[in-house]
């Protein structure tokens, strides 16, 4: 058991977190993330700095006591887990806890996924296979994690075709899963038009997600006017079918 972290020590740390909360930012975040959890009102730069320090000093000790009752506490769990200087296999244990038990809104999902670049460096192929368990989970938030991991880290040439296939296989009525699919495809188009265009004739996504992908792509400043016109044409063709 860590000497630094005890129930009393964590309670004092939690009180300090609440003292740093900003009321106006808390209200803004509550509306933005639509969480069932209380929101403290802590900004992401502060949380990332805290996570880096906690992971360096005694991250595993912190995670043994880290609370789950607020959005920011859960977020700290994910950020610390991603930054822990532990063996890869140990990181996976903490990642599974976060993904399957703690993620309950899009902000928790997306912040964690964006923090994994250093953690999976040199293990990209291995982790790509590992996240299949998330993509096939009965927990829709875990499915979103798998999608956003691919969006952040697996849209390069070596992975694009397989990423698009994996995305296409997912059939879900959960709004945040569908939005992640559309967001991934829009990002893929902006990064690799040719590769994504080759996939579209074979896409089996239901209409709502496909149309949302086109909408998000057409809203992007990284996509040409000609491509936007082409995609709108695809949408019209689908609507006629």
Residue-level pLDDT at 238: 83
Encode pLDDT of 133-156 as tens digits: 999 999 999 999 999 999 999 999
Phi-psi region of 105 (alpha: psi -120 to 50; beta: other; left: phi over 0): beta
- In angstroms, the CA 2 to CA 65 distance is 10
Residue-level pLDDT at 235: 86
Report percent pLDDT > 90 for the chain.
Answer: 93
Between residues 18 and 201, which one has the greater pLDDT?
Answer: 18
- In angstroms, the CA 177 to CA 138 distance is 12
- In angstroms, the CA 119 to CA 73 distance is 21
Encode pLDDT of 56-114 as tens digits: 999 999 999 999 999 999 999 999 999 999 999 999 999 999 999 999 999 999 999 99
Residue-level pLDDT at 28: 97
- In angstroms, the CA 165 to CA 160 distance is 9
Residue-level pLDDT at 1: 41
Residue-level pLDDT at 2: 46
Considering the chain, what is the average pLDDT of its residues? 95
Encode pLDDT of 173-203 as tens digits: 999 999 999 999 999 999 999 999 999 988 9
Domains of the chain with bracketed CATH: 1-115 (no CATH), 120-241 (1.25.40)
pLDDT band at 8 (very low <50, low <70, confident <90, very high): very high
CA proximity to 190, closest of 219, 170, 212, 153: 219
Residue-level pLDDT at 240: 74
Asked if 14 contacts 67 with a C-beta cutoff of 8 angstroms, the reply is yes
């Amino acid at each position: 058991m860590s000497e630094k972290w005890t129930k009393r020590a964590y309670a004092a740390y939690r009180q300090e977190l609440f003292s740093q909360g900003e009321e106006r930012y808390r209200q803004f975040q509550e509306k933005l993330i639509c969480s069932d959890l209380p929101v403290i009102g802590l900004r992401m730069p502060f949380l990332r700095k805290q996570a880096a320090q906690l992971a360096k000093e005694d991250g595993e000790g912190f995670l043994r006591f880290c609370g789950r009752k607020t959005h920011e506490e859960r977020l700290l769990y994910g950020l610390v887990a991603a930054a822990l200087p532990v063996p890869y296999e140990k990181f996976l244990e903490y990642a599974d806890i976060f993904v399957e038990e703690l993620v309950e809104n899009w902000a928790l999902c997306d912040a964690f996924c964006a923090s994994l670049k250093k953690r999976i460096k040199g293990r990209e192929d291995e982790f790509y296979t590992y996240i299949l368990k998330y993509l096939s989970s009965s927990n829709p938030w875990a499915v979103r994690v798998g999608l956003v991991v691919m969006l952040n880290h697996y849209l390069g040439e070596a992975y694009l075709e397989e990423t698009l296939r994996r995305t296409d296989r997912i059939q879900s009525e959960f709004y945040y899963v569908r939005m992640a699919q559309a967001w991934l495809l829009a990002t893929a188009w902006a990064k690799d038009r040719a590769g994504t265009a080759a996939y579209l004739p074979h896409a089996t996504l239901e209409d709502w997600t496909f149309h949302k992908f086109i909408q998000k792509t057409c809203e992007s400043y990284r996509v040409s006017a000609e491509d936007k016109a082409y995609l709108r044409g695809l949408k019209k063709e689908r609507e006629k079918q």
